[in-house]
Amino acid sequence: MKHIGNLIGRGGRRAIHRLMTRDTTATHKLAKFDEFKTLDEPHLKAMKEGAEWLTSAMLRHESPRWLTLLGPSGTGKTYLARMIYRIARNNLMGYEGRDGWPHTRLMRWINWRKFCDLIRGGDYTRTEFVIDPWMAVLDDIGAEYDPSGFLTSKLDRVINERLRKWTVVTCNLSLEEISSKLDRRIASRMIRDGNKVIEVNATDFALRGEG
Ligand SMILES: Nc1ncnc2c1ncn2[C@@H]1O[C@H](COP(=O)(O)OP(=O)(O)OP(=O)(O)O)[C@@H](O)[C@H]1O
Ligand SMILES: [Mg+2]
C-alpha cells in the first residue's frame, strides 16, 4: 500500500503544512491602514473602519463579502481600495482556495472604465475575467457613457455573479443614484448578505493641501 504522503504529492504536503502552521492572529494584526488619514472626520473614519472590517475578515478566511465606497472625487476611495488589495495580496501569498488555486492568482484589479472600452470593442470574454476571481476590485463603476444601457447590463451581470465573492467597489454616485441611474438591483446587491456600503461626503484631498 502506498504511503499517504505519496498519494497527496509534494504540492498537497506543502498546502497541509501551510494550513497547520498559519497564524491567523498574526495576519489579522497586519490589517492596518495607518497611511490612510482620517483627520478626525467621521466619513473618513468610517471608510478606514470599513477597510479594516473587510480585510480582517479576508485574512481570517471568513465567508466572502463586499465593501462599496461611494462619494465625490478625491476622497480616497481608490487609494483605500489599493491598500486593501495590497494587504490581501501580501498576506495571502501562498494560501490555496478549496479548489486548489492560490488566492493571489485569483485577485484582480479592474479599472471599470478601461474594462468598458474593451467590452465596447467586442471583447466579451472579459466579463468572465471579472466574474471569476476569488477577490476583485471594481474601481470607478458608473462613470461610463452608456445611453443604450448596454454597459449597465454587463455591470448587472458582473454584480450578480460576484455575490459571495470578495469584492471592493468604488463609485462617484450615491446609493440612491446607483438605484435610479444604473439599476435598482445593483444597489440592492450592494447592501445584502452582510455587505457594507460606505457613503463618504468629504473634501477632495487635493483641495486640502494634504498628502
Ligand atoms: N485619506 C487619505 N489619506 C491620505 N491620502 C489621501 C487620502 N484620501 C486621498 N488621498 C490622496 O488623494 C489622492 C486621490 O485619491 P483617490 O484617487 O483615492 O480619490 P477617489 O475618491 O478615488 O477619486 P475619484 O472618485 O475621482 O476616483 C490619493 O492618491 C492620495 O494621494
Ligand atoms: Mg477613484
Q: What is the 3-state secondary structure (H, E, C) of the chain?
A: CCCHHHHHHHHHHHHHHHHHHCCHHHHHHCCCCCCCCCCCCHHHHHHHHHHHHHHHHHHCCCCCCEEEEECCCCCCHHHHHHHHHHHHHHHHCCCECCCCCEHHHHEEEEEHHHHHHHHHCCCCCHHHHHHCCCEEEEEEECCCCCCCCHHHHHHHHHHHHCCCCEEEEEECCCHHHHHHHHCHHHHHHHHCCCCEEEECCCCCHHHHCCC
Residue 204 has pLDDT above 60, yes or no: yes
Is 24-208 CATH 3.40.50.300? yes
Domain segments of the chain: what residues? 24-208
53 to each of 4, 84, 114, 180, 198, how far by Cα in Å? 39, 10, 29, 28, 12
145-203 pLDDT, tens digit per residue, is: 999 999 999 999 999 999 989 999 999 999 999 999 999 999 999 999 889 999 998 88
Q: Label residue 4 by pLDDT band (50, 70, 90).
A: very low
Residue 2 has pLDDT above 50, yes or no: no
Residue to probe by mutation, ligand 1, list 39, 78, 114, 140, most atoms within 8 Å of CB:
78
In this prediction, residues 4-24 reach a mean pLDDT of 52
Kindly give the distance from the C-alpha atom of residue 32 to the centroid of ligand 1, in angstroms, as a whole number: 17
15-41 pLDDT, tens digit per residue, is: 555 544 444 444 445 567 989 999 999
Q: What is the pLDDT of residue 61?
A: 85
Q: Which atom, in ligand 1's list, is nearest to the CA of 171?
A: 25
Q: Label residue 9 by pLDDT band (50, 70, 90).
A: low
85 near 115, Cβ under 8 Å?
A: no
54-86 pLDDT, tens digit per residue, is: 999 988 889 999 999 999 999 999 999 999 999
Q: Label residue 6 by pLDDT band (50, 70, 90).
A: low
Ligand 1 neighbours (beta carbon < 6 A): 36-37, 44, 73-79, 140, 170, 172, 205, 211
Q: What is the pLDDT of residue 23?
A: 47
Shortest-distance ligand to the CA of residue 34: 1
